[in-house]
A and B are shown apart, each in its own frame.
Chain A
């Protein structure tokens, strides 16, 4: 249904919450609430995801093959197996491409500011 091979360039540029979700998963698998808290921390409290926004983004990232779901330990309170999310190799490539794009933008902006100062 979705051409995963083309998800990279077509999915770029990433929106900030999506970018932060991918960054959050770059260090390993996490379940929904851990991602939510990590995104808040990564953005210094600026981006606070609601549950609907978080799972909407996770659903789209799953469809695009940028992340995948893995079963983990049972929840202490509910006894249900928790579902965690992990970055795929393709997701890591997309994240790296986005970072390169952002770095290139920052470098261009720095150059312009330096020209202005000079």
Chain B
């Protein structure tokens, strides 16, 4: 029996290392003392009692260890939210503008380079496939790192770009057949954002996303700001790529610049103003392109506005919608700030 107790004691001491360091530092000595007392008590009742005690500890260990790791991570994520107030570091800034570069400027630049080099069709297709997969990988990795770090400010554009996918998928379903694709896209995109926020409020692991938005609503604006990339593509979809790519590139670079200044700004008013100004400039560029090439809008089934100002007006309408999206999160300020939910004991 002494041998069994000794083995169990040794195993327990080793298994304690599975708990997070903070938990071990706080309760490690007490855990060992209590286990020792329980072992001594069990030894008085016989070998079966000792074995049962050992089994009970092993059985409950994985759950107890997992709970401590999860609560420790959630705590660390909450800490990171509270300290993410000043201007971002250059590393974080680069991480924040990366989605705008890889999903906006880089594809346009690639197209220009491929066209300039006059590469064969197969090479062009391969480049476009590799570019698509790389962009997707960067998005997934950025989103995952952002999640693991408790959704710091730089990670919100990754969330915004990721939400484009459910937006597009929903817009193509018969559920939204009553509107055209772009109308359906905006409805489903807003729905996807709302659902994500509700999920983040309810699900502990996503809770830092919700807390981040509640502590600084401009972070939700920054997430929604990524839609400027989709909007500019939508505006220019009827214009041949050979003509619209330079304009598209200019609008994407403006959007990237806006993201950069947002990341480096301290005050909320300045942050949201920068996003609004960038959206305005980016949409002015694509609007100008559309007004220039308005008479190219002859795709069957598409509405042809026929006059340049009509084309520009449609772009102006879309700009208004983007401005609403960016300013909309300010409404969160009018909702009472709920105290941080205490995990159920």
Spell out A's residues near B (CB within 8 Å): 1-3, 6-7, 10-11, 14-15, 18, 31-33, 36, 48, 50-61, 63-64, 66, 75, 77-78, 80, 82-83
Contact = CB atoms under 8 A, between A and B. Distances in A.
Q: What is the predominant secondary structure among interface residues of chain A facing chain B?
A: helix
A52 B60 CA distance: 7
A61 B339 contact: no
B343 interface: yes
A18 B339 CA distance: 22
Interface string B19-52: 1000100110111011111100000000000000
Interface centre among B29, B57, B61, B345 (most CB of A within 10 A): B345
B78 A48 contact: no
Contact of B60 (A2, A50, A78): A50
Contacts of A61: 345
A43 to B, nearest CB: 15
Nearest to A10: B342
B31 A75 contact: no
Q: What is the predominant secondary structure among interface residues of chain B facing chain A?
A: helix
Interface stretch (B62-70, B176-184, B300-308): B62-70
Contact of A56 (B67, B340, B342): B67
B2 interface: no
B342 A7 contact: yes
Contact of B31 (A11, A48, A55, A78): A55
13 contacts: A3-B340, A11-B342, A32-B30, A32-B33, A50-B57, A51-B35, A51-B57, A52-B65, A53-B64, A57-B345, A59-B27, A60-B343, A64-B345
A82 to B, nearest CB: 7
A33 B343 CA distance: 24
A32 B38 CA distance: 11
Question: Chain B: interface residue count, which band?
Answer: 20 to 34
B65 A1 contact: no
Interface centre among A33, A51, A57, A63 (most CB of B within 10 A): A51
Contact of B33 (A52, A66, A78): A78
A84 B30 CA distance: 10
Contact of B345 (A15, A48, A77): A15
B252 to A, nearest CB: 41
B64 A2 contact: no
Interface in B6-21: 19
A50 B64 contact: yes
A10 B341 contact: yes
Given A50-B60, A75-B33, A59 B342 contact: no
B3 interface: no
A16 to B, nearest CB: 11
Given A50-B57, A51-B38, 14 more contacts: A1-B75, A2-B342, A6-B342, A10-B341, A15-B344, A36-B38, A52-B60, A52-B68, A56-B64, A56-B67, A60-B345, A75-B33, A80-B29, A83-B30
